[in-house]
Amino acid sequence: MQEYSLVALPEDAGKRLDVFLADYSRQNDLGLSRQSLQKLILQGAVSLKHSGKLKAHYKIKSGDEIHLHIEEKKENTLEAEDIPLAVVYEDKDLAIIDKPIGLVVHPAPGNYTHTLVNALLHRFTQLSDINPQRPGIVHRLDKDTSGLLVIAKNNSAHLNLAKQFAEHSILRKYVALVKGEVKFNEDVIELPIGRHPVKRKSMAVGFSEEAKFAKTRYRTLKRTKDISLLELEPFTGRTHQLRVHLSFLGHPILGDTKYGKDNSFPRLALHAKYLGFIHPSTHKFIDFSSETPQEFLIIFK
């Protein structure tokens, strides 16, 4: 049994209990979804001093001392797999991987093999182990998004890079094919994102108490009356941010079966093309680029 003790800060006041715990889980990489936390609350695994049985909609008060009890689960043993990797750069602290489409980044329930982590364990002798179930993984791309990822080889590099991601100081650029003719040459999208009110496995633009600020800049590279090629720069890192923002604007990414209706494109047309950050050891700015996939460009020839 693992027990976590949390003290609510003034800025937490007014949050639902399940939202507060979900934020804590996300920040501390506990791997607990809001739905699973609701079940724990219902089972009595969440307690508050001087209070009876709690409910998920309990409104947090500043200074609340909340205890979360979790039964320890047996961790799955990760196995190395000889999966080809495109290693763009490597040194003693980190590696840059150009991830292909269709490759899941890290193991999860029901999917403990054939992931990037399994490939990393085969390719590298040393990886960060801050999260033993996700060795080396500092950030992620969706399964069907291709492009650049940075991998940490030791915990010092991992913490440094994670801090840069948290501060939104790492430069990231994507290219995407989207439906329709985007009128503006460039613009900034500032729309909050949270869980879809009905489809709980999806995200959506919304203004609920759990929705979080999200900001994306786009630049139109090429366009026809039916399709546009965009360069995207996320300033925040919300789940499915680029896909949700573009879908809300009426220009869903081609091949997006979750947030778009036109599924004729053979893949999710989203590629992480650029990554730039301060190296954890040298403290110098380094950056890397990946070519735009040819299937994104052939349409305009």
Contact 6, 12 (CB under 8 A): no
Contact 227, 218 (CB under 8 A): no
Query: Where would I find the H helices in 106-185?
Result: 116-123, 155-166
Torsion angle of C-alpha atoms 290, 291, 295, 300, degrees rounded to 10? 140
From the candidates 12, 93, 142, 256, give the one annotated as an active-site residue. Answer: 142
Residue spans of beta strands (DSSP E) within the chain: 2-7, 46-48, 65-70, 87-90, 94-99, 146-152, 171-179, 186-190, 193-195, 203-205, 215-223, 227-234, 270-278, 285-289
Contact 190, 165 (CB under 8 A): no
- Which amino acid, 258? K
DSSP string, 240-261: THHHHHHHHTT-PBTT-TTT-S
Q: Catalytic annotation on 91? A: no
Residues that are catalytic: 142
